[in-house]
Amino acid sequence: MTGTPAHTAPPLSTLTLGGGCFWCTEAVFDSVRGIVDVESGYCNGEALRPRYQQVCTGSTGHAEVVRLTFDPAVIGVRDILEIFFGTHDPTTLNRQGNDVGTQYRSGIYYEDPAHAEVANDLIREMSQDKLFGASITTEVRPLHNYWPAEDYHQDYYAKNPLQGYCSYVVGPKVVKFRQTFARFLR
């Protein structure tokens, strides 16, 4: 049989990010071109199959995160990380605004070591440029013990835009993203 070889699409990739409350981070990445799926969850803690009530205590070691599945032919890891750093405060240890605790830490959790290299290079560049005026506290670690958040957390902002936290915290982050990173909108 002759003919041209079939082209196969490059495989999708994943990257897990903790930027404080997962509702905020999910709402931002839900509208990014090249992001195929955004799932809120918990990672890098010790409890197996953690629940929201456990994670909120700060005793499990988990971070609230979003697990991004993306098409690297459409958006690169560096672009994703630039959006991530531009839509949360990576300089506050275990805190985003009024959300305080280790579960709200800034983190990049990778499965592909090449993603860690990109993250560490970007953090080094931003630190040298003193981009944030303070030290970056974002941790870069291998993904460990990931567990999806409960169903009611998935697509929370899309389903509850008028809820108080969504109106006053999530909404402004989404507006900032749309203004600053319009080139990445779907």
Catalytic positions, please?
A: 21
When computed from its CA atoms, the radius of gyration of the chain, rounded to whole angstroms, is 17
How far apart are the C-alpha atoms of 76 and 145, rounded to whole Å?
25
Tokens describing residue 136: 């970056």
Per DSSP bridges, beta strands 147-148 and 63-70 are unpaired
3-state secondary structure string across 101-157: CHHHCEEEEECCHHHHHHHHHHHHHHHHCCCCCCCCCCEEEECCCCEECCHHHCCHH
* List of residues 6+ apart from 47 with CB closer than 8 A: 54, 60, 61, 62
State the residue for tokens 């983190």. 107
On whether the CB atoms of residues 41 and 67 are closer than 8 A, the answer is: yes
